Amino acid sequence: MGGDRDIFERLRDGETIEGGDAQAGRMLAESYATKALVLQMNSTADPAEVRRLLGEITGKEVDESVHVFTPLYINYGKNTKIGKNVFINFDCVFLDLGGITIDDGVLIAPSEPTVRRTSSPSVGKNLPRSWPYPRQKGRLDRSQCYNLTRRNCR
């Protein structure tokens, strides 16, 4: 279905990526490169350094008003957008291949799998098409994450 289109573009456009996709190796390589940066980010206690590394992971400048209590785990990074006045608490997981937008003023509770692949049999070996969108000035907790993920990963 994707033809020669870039796998990351297809994911951003909401296309389901079939297991065995020809560009899957590229997706894996990018994820390992991100993992190296995530390990660096999770090894520092300096908030400015955390923001700098998060900016390198996402490919976008992270505002000074953003606070991240590491560890934070991200599998790709370039499809994550983080607004201003965002607080991300300890031990969160962002699986952003399909895109995550965290709007201004969002507080994310600790140990939240904010976006994750569901183990639903209906998904099988494919990557899901749509993902949760943490809304402006709200708090995202475990029940919201689970419900959003289950609903969007049919």
Domain ranges of the chain: 7-152
Query: Which pLDDT does position 97 carry in this prediction?
Result: 83
The pLDDT tens digits of the residues spanning 48-87 come to: 999 999 999 999 999 999 999 999 999 999 988 899 999 9
Non-local CB neighbours of 80 within 8 Å, separated by 6+ positions:
57, 58, 74, 94, 96, 99, 100, 101, 102
CATH class of domain segment(s) 7-152: mainly beta
pLDDT at residue 144 is higher than 50: no
pLDDT at residue 137 is higher than 60: no
Burial of residue 143 (number of CB atoms within 10 Å: 0-12, 13-18, 19+):
exposed
Find the distance separating the first CA and the last CA of the chain, reported in whole Å.
Answer: 19
pTM value is 0.74
pLDDT at residue 11 is higher than 50: yes
pLDDT at residue 127 is higher than 60: no
Confidence of residue 18 (pLDDT cuts 50, 70, 90): confident
